[in-house]
Amino acid sequence: MSDRDGQDAMYQLVIRGELDERFGVLFEGMQMKRAENTTVLEGRVRDRAKLMGFIERIDELGLELLSVQQVDPSPPGSTHERDEA
């Protein structure tokens, strides 16, 4: 779950439907973006337990989780590569 440096990792969770801003408090530390009938939560997740907590909360709210993926925190065009040769 951790990146190369042993730190927490960036994750993106995509939920069906555009959630109201008040749901943001339920996903502390995550940025919330809404577009095309989906809500994207993105942010640093410190460990597997925190990630599973977000997933369980989405389920408890009766929301449909479309995807979960670890994302590269490096800005586009940076010299940091995730795959080493």
Minimum mean pLDDT range among 7-11, 31-35, 54-58:
7-11
State which fold the 9-71 domain adopts.
Answer: Alpha-Beta Plaits (3.30.70)
Distance of CA 47 to the CA centre of its chain: 12
Structure token digits, residue 78: 């940076």
Residue 12 is predicted with a pLDDT of: 97
Domain boundaries, the chain: 9-71
User: Is the whole-model pTM more than 0.85?
Assistant: no
State the average pLDDT over residues 21-47: 94
C-alpha span between 40 and 66 (Å, rounded): 10
d(CA 42, CA 37): 16
